[in-house]
Amino acid sequence: MNNKYKIIILGITIVIIFILFLRVLNSDKTYQPNQMIGKKIPEFILENLLNKNPKLDSNILSGKDFAVLNIWASWCIPCRIEHPFLMDLKNKNQIDIIGLNYKDESGNAKNFLKKYGNPFSLIGVDKKGEVAIQLGAYGVPETYVLKKGKIIFKHIGPLNEDTVNQILELQNK
Amino acid sequence: MRKYFFIIIFFILSSNVFSASEELKNKIYKNIRCIVCQGQSIYESNSDFAIDLKKLISKKLENGENEKQIYEFLISRYGDWIVYNPGLNINSLALWLLPLIIFITGGFLIFRLNSKKKK
Amino acid sequence: MAGYIGNLALFFSLIFNGFLIFSLIKGIRNNDFKNSKIINFFNNSIFFLLLISFLTLIYCFIVSDFSNVAVYQNSHTTKPLIYKISGAWGNHEGSMVLFILILSLFSFVFARTKVSEKLKFYTVFFQSILILIFLIFLILTSNPFDQMDPKPSQGLGLNPILQDPLLAIHPPFLYFGYVGFSLVFSFALAGLVTNNFDKSWSKIANFWIILPWSLLTVGIGLGSFWAYYELGWGGYWFWDPVENASLMPWLAATALIHSNIVTLKKDKLHSWTALLSIFTFIMSLLGTFLVRSGVLNSVHAFANDPYRGVYILSTILFITFFSLAIFIIKSPKKSLYGEYSFLQKDNFILINNCFLIFFLSVILVGTVYPIILDAISGKSISVGPVYYHTILAPFLFAFLFFMSHGPLISWNKEDKFLQIKNFKIFFPISIAISSVIIFWFFDYKDIILILGLLFSVYLIVSVIFDWISQKKLSLNFGRLVSHLGFGTLIFAIFVNAYLSKEINAAMKVGEEITIQEFVIKFKSINKIKKENYEEVFGNFLVTNKKKQVELTPSIRKYDQPVQFTSETSIKTNFIVDYYFAINLSEFEKDKIMVRFYYKPLMFWIWFSILLIAFGGIYQTFRLRNE
């Protein structure tokens, strides 16, 4: 092979490597597990935070046409940031929001709701964080959108205007 | 290879039942990535996430689930990324093949050099 | 003020570098290599200016000049002096200065050796191009003398796990290693461009390959040793991408050392040696890119902005393209086509290279493939120890076998005596000794362990056999020591991997537990306060059969920044390490989590790495004296 062709091949290889790594550099490096999207929510039963009954049963969730499941905790700072969005979703848009109180102290959790308002129609207590793992979550806050018990959307981190709009779009579909 | 690992585990199991469950537990911990950490396994991490997973895994082992079932559960929740052993599948094919191809190419070149001389 | 001087020195070194390149080009154009005085002047000045700049940075760290951003971000007034100093290269900016300083140091020293003027001109030329590229990178994207106003009254501190004497010297060794490969890179390009790639090139190159290789060996060993006693997980090698990044140039350089021997002794294999010289430094650069661009998810990765990553990426690919293009155009034509036959040393060195490049490709693919896969398809996979062990082990055994025979084989295939000695005497002796050792000491029924021990003992016996039959020991002493070290290293790694034991438990003070053959007693707890941390010690007594070992691991709470670290306590002897670490309990508040490890032959792992490096250092001294 002629040297000229060899150098052209070398050049093309280098350019390809450059483009590949450029993509790597620009890609988002926070890992977003989305294995659960499209699947039915796993089965669980959790104690209710505020009343004795009803317990938070995954069957209740499966029965709902459209619901938002939000994992939160009173100790979690970003949860305070997203709280107004949850309140809006409930009050303005009449969305049914279920809470999953994650590894929290129930007294603190209740105070939190007193102070900032309670957007949840039902709150389950995930004291050990086991149900969160079942859901494929890795921290708080995380938000799931359920359609007849199927997870159709998931957001990691505090809600913002964009995600709220996405949720509303999903509701109207 | 995986079958082979089970054979090792069997040996350890038969020799000492107590340490076997400990050893298996640690082996699984070392094979699970702490996905909220920077490149550590949950074995090496004390983050909340790692601790929760460790508790869950040891509970699952007590309930009689085996190593494979635990990996499958975690992969179904968090994806392939969480297990440090990529296994052999479509995504990891190149991972196993590329080095072997390089080795075979090298071997072929050496072979050709050796036979060239005889001509 | 000090920052001002440092900045000025950097700036002038850039200008002088410009002058240097200009006068080199002029000399090359006119084919006039006589005028080396001016070249030496610039070359020396650049080195001294960079040295001033680096010392100034250290000074800023010592006096805690927080108007300097790098000092502010990485230092604190209460830090002990040694960590203030090492803080200078414990961050991205400072370590880049060290990087460039070493580039320049090698150029500086090289220019003082006996080399033909023409080769010297070209080598210094390529080296100064490298300096130019990295100086611009430093000044544009990561100036270590950036000032901030108003001056903060206190710094942010250095990550406590990095406050360790070994870690203070680990990075310099590592940089001397893989930046050191730049010189043989430049020298290879010089040899190619001037058509001087021959035996005499090899003779000089030998020194410049083995020297950084030895230092890199020490650097990798230090890093591994640090991970072992500081991280507290009983492991010493995690197949972390950054560890891999240091192993890649090491493997390439190891291949280069061997192929260069063929070029030197037989005047063959030129183009392969040239390619490896280039490739080794490219591997170093790849490591630099992986660590500093933020593409990795790793404990070691420097936090970074993407702009920096793009610059390093472009730079490295630029260097790769031009060096390989030069190689393609000027590659020596006689290259591979010498005589080969199976039972000849040249052939075994080719086999050695094939294996080493295979090991390198395993690590390269294992490190880079997941990143690329994620970027292309969005699929994330994790490559961990299981992959590396599975794919490397069988090849390692074959490698050890060839390594046992290669050195015993003669350069000339006519030399029948050596072949007979090799196969008829050494082979049975070695097999006999290895079998006895294995079946005497190890009743462990695991085929991988057995094979690992068999082949490593086989290698060790072959080296001893070789050692005894040397007529003039000093000639091969370096090689023998390094090979012996490699044999004992593999032996120790296998024993350690298969016979280690670990115990995890939660314990209260006064409690005693018995697990496996160990009795662990938690005797007492005590607390001390130091300048920049508080420390809680646990006193433990471990009884193993009749042997009693007292261990005092601790937990430290650092003030600046607030962080808990776990300090291990290790009692070591030639046979086994007793290793203890404690953590605050995750499950029960009144207990402490204890981790006890029984790690056989750890001493031999460290000692073997030193042997490997020592062989190289011995060789460099011998080469220098020649």
Tens digits of residue pLDDT in C412-443: 765 665 666 666 777 788 788 878 877 776 66
Do B64 and B111 lie in one domain? The reply is no
Measured between beta carbons, which residues in chain C are less than 8 angstroms from residue B38? 297-299, 301
- Number of other residues whose CB lies within 10 A of the CB of residue C445: 10
Which conformational region is residue C516 in: left (phi greater than 0), alpha (psi within -120 to 50 degrees), or beta?
left
Q: Is the pLDDT of residue C186 over 90?
A: yes
Q: How confident is the model at residue C407 (pLDDT cuts 50, 70, 90)?
A: confident
> Looking at the domain assignment, is residue C380 inside a domain?
no
Cα–Cα nearest to B67, from B26, B39, B12, B19: B26
In sequence order, the β-bridge partners of residue C243 are none
Cα–Cα nearest to C228, from C210, C243, C215, C216: C243
Is C317 in Cβ contact with A24 (below 8 Å)? Answer: no
Do B80 and B45 lie in one domain? The reply is yes
CA–CA min distance A38, chain B (Å) = 12
Measured between beta carbons, which residues in chain C are less than 8 angstroms from residue A127? none
Q: Is the pLDDT of residue B1 over 60?
A: no
Dist CA C305 CA C294 (whole Å): 7
Q: How confident is the model at residue B10 (pLDDT cuts 50, 70, 90)?
A: very low
Dist CA B41 CA B31 (whole Å): 7
**pLDDT tens, position by position, A150-168:** 899 988 888 888 888 888 8
* More confident position, C463 or C436: C463
Do B72 and B116 lie in one domain? The reply is no
Q: Which domain holds residue B63?
A: 2-85
Do C179 and C129 lie in one domain? The reply is no
Q: Which domain holds residue C506?
A: 501-602
The predicted structure's pLDDT at residue B11: 41
In this prediction, residues A114-140 reach a mean pLDDT of 88
Is C328 in Cβ contact with A7 (below 8 Å)? Answer: yes
Do B48 and B23 lie in one domain? The reply is yes
The predicted structure's pLDDT at residue C413: 65
Parallel, antiparallel or unpaired: strands C554-558 and C547-551? unpaired
Do C209 and C329 lie in one domain? The reply is yes
CA–CA min distance C275, chain A (Å) = 14
| Structural domains counted in chain C | 4
Segment 234-273 of chain C within 8 Å of chain B by CB: 240-241
Dist CA A16 CA C24 (whole Å): 33
The predicted structure's pLDDT at residue B13: 38
**pLDDT tens, position by position, A88-116:** 888 888 889 999 999 888 889 999 999 99
* CATH code: domain of residue B23: 1.10.8.640
Measured between beta carbons, which residues in chain A are less than 8 angstroms from residue B36? 138-139
Do C256 and C315 lie in one domain? The reply is yes
Cα–Cα nearest to C569, from C584, C553, C556: C553
In this prediction, residues C507-535 reach a mean pLDDT of 88
Q: Is the pLDDT of residue C10 over 90?
A: yes
Measured between beta carbons, which residues in chain C are less than 8 angstroms from residue B113? 336, 340, 347, 350
Q: What is the residue whose two structure tokens read 């950490």?
A: B37
The predicted structure's pLDDT at residue B119: 41
Q: Give the neighbours of chain A: at least 3 Cβ pairs within 8 Å.
A: B, C
Is B110 in Cβ contact with C446 (below 8 Å)? Answer: no
Do C440 and C589 lie in one domain? The reply is no
Do B73 and B98 lie in one domain? The reply is no
Dist CA C13 CA C7 (whole Å): 10
Cα–Cα nearest to C239, from C391, C355, C358: C391
Strand order in the sheet with C501-507: C501-507, C592-600, C576-584, C569-572
Q: Looking at the predicted complex, does its ipTM rise above 0.90?
A: no
Is A20 in Cβ contact with C372 (below 8 Å)? Answer: yes
Considering only the beta carbons, identify the residue of C295, C317, C321 that sits closest to A25. Answer: C295
The predicted structure's pLDDT at residue A36: 83
Residue C425 DSSP label: I
Boundary residue ending a domain (C137, C158, C179): C158
The predicted structure's pLDDT at residue C339: 64
Considering only the beta carbons, identify the residue of A6, A23, A25 that sits closest to C328. Answer: A6
The predicted structure's pLDDT at residue C421: 66
The predicted structure's pLDDT at residue C256: 97
3-state secondary structure of C415: coil
Side chain identity at C183, as an amino acid letter?
Answer: L
Classify residue A62 by burial, with Cβ atoms within 10 Å: 0-12, 13-18, 19+: middle
Question: What is the maximum alpha-carbon separation in chain A?
Answer: 82
Dist CA A132 CA A143 (whole Å): 11
Is C329 in Cβ contact with A24 (below 8 Å)? Answer: no
Do B70 and B106 lie in one domain? The reply is no
CA–CA min distance A130, chain C (Å) = 15
Do C460 and C589 lie in one domain? The reply is no
**pLDDT tens, position by position, C576-617:** 999 999 987 655 667 888 889 999 999 999 999 999 999 999
Do C172 and C243 lie in one domain? The reply is yes
Do C343 and C290 lie in one domain? The reply is yes
Q: What is the residue whose two structure tokens read 């499966």?
A: A62
**pLDDT tens, position by position, C312-339:** 899 999 999 999 999 999 987 765 556 6
Dist CA A118 CA A114 (whole Å): 7
The predicted structure's pLDDT at residue C147: 85
**pLDDT tens, position by position, C76-114:** 888 888 888 988 888 888 999 999 999 999 999 999 988
Residue C421 DSSP label: I
Cα–Cα nearest to C54, from C160, C161, C135, C152: C135
C328 close contact with B: CB closer than 8 A? no
Boundary residue ending a domain (C133, C158, C183): C158
Lowest-confidence pick of A8-12, C119-123, C526-530: C526-530
Side chain identity at C125, as an amino acid letter?
Answer: F
Do B54 and B12 lie in one domain? The reply is yes
3-state helix, strand, coil in chain A (%, to 5): 40, 20, 35
Do C432 and C329 lie in one domain? The reply is no
| Structural domains counted in chain B | 2
CA–CA min distance B16, chain C (Å) = 8
What are the φ and ψ backbone dihedral angles of B64, each rounded to 5 degrees? 90, 10
> How many inter-chain contacts (B to C, CB under 8 Å) are there?
120
Boundary residue ending a domain (C325, C350, C375): C375
Do C192 and C138 lie in one domain? The reply is no
Do C279 and C260 lie in one domain? The reply is yes
The predicted structure's pLDDT at residue C426: 75
CA–CA min distance C256, chain B (Å) = 15
